[in-house]
Structures are given as structure tokens and as C-alpha cells.
């Protein structure tokens, strides 16, 4: 049921967005560029609006957003329930899944960090 609701919501958003891009291209360009500022896409001089702006609200965009949102459904953790088997990236860049690191009945401890 959740996947159907997400499908309806994302499809409606794409249809409205595509319609607005056709009817008001300049206003939508300004809106999309403002969104790009939030994600810092605009800071890369080799990555201009003409490269990525027109892809918004396309069929590929729809499929990508659906894939991400549906995948996030599987990654939700709830107190008292088993942990989701989410993908993780090892320090050498390999993609594994959380349960790959479990050994017998030993507790699995996750340590998160960041370095810049």
C-alpha cells in the first residue's frame, strides 16, 4: 500500500512539474536553480543547468525518484523490531549489507565517523 501511495504522489508531482516547465519555463528554471543551490550543484562550473535542468520531471527522473523512495521504505528502523539490512560502504569503497558483518549471536556495533 505504501508503494502505491508513493507511486501516486511521485507521478502527480512529475506531471505537475512537467506541466509547469512547459507553461512557465523561466520561472521553473529559477526554481530548479534555487534547488540546485541547496544541494551545491551550481558550484561546479562544468555542471551547468543545461546539463541537468531539463532532466527534471522526465520519465527517467520519475523512475529514479520511485526507486529511491521505495528503497527507503526498506531502510526504516523501528524500536523493538529487527534492524533493516541496509547497504553500507566499507572503508575501501566496497558496497556490502549490514547483516554481512554479523557473526553468530554476537552483537553488531556500528561506529560512524567523518573526516574531511
Residue 85: which of 71, 68, 67 has the closest Cα?
71
Give the pTM: 0.57
39-55 CB burial, b ≥16 within 10 A, e <16: eebeeeeeeeeeeebee
Residues 10 and 12: their CA atoms lie apart, in Å, by 5
What tens digit of pLDDT does each residue of 63-82 get?
999 988 887 776 777 788 87
Residue 68: which of 112, 7, 16 has the closest Cα?
7
Instruction: Say what the pLDDT of residue 42 is.
Output: 67
Amino acid at each position: 500500500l505504501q508503494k502505491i501511495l508513493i507511486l501516486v504522489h511521485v507521478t502527480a508531482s512529475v506531471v505537475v512539474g512537467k506541466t509547469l516547465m512547459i507553461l512557465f519555463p523561466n520561472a521553473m528554471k529559477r526554481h530548479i536553480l534555487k534547488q540546485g543551490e541547496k544541494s551545491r550543484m551550481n558550484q561546479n562550473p562544468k555542471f551547468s543547468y543545461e546539463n541537468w535542468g531539463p532532466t527534471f520531471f522526465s520519465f527517467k527522473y520519475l523512475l529514479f525518484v520511485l526507486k529511491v523512495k521505495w528503497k527507503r521504505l526498506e531502510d526504516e528502523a523501528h524500536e523493538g523490531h529487527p534492524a533493516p539490512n541496509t547497504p553500507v560502504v566499507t572503508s575501501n569503497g566496497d558496497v556490502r549489507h549490514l547483516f554481512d558483518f554479523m557473526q553468530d549471536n554476537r552483537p553488531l556495533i556500528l561506529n560512524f565517523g567523518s573526516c574531511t
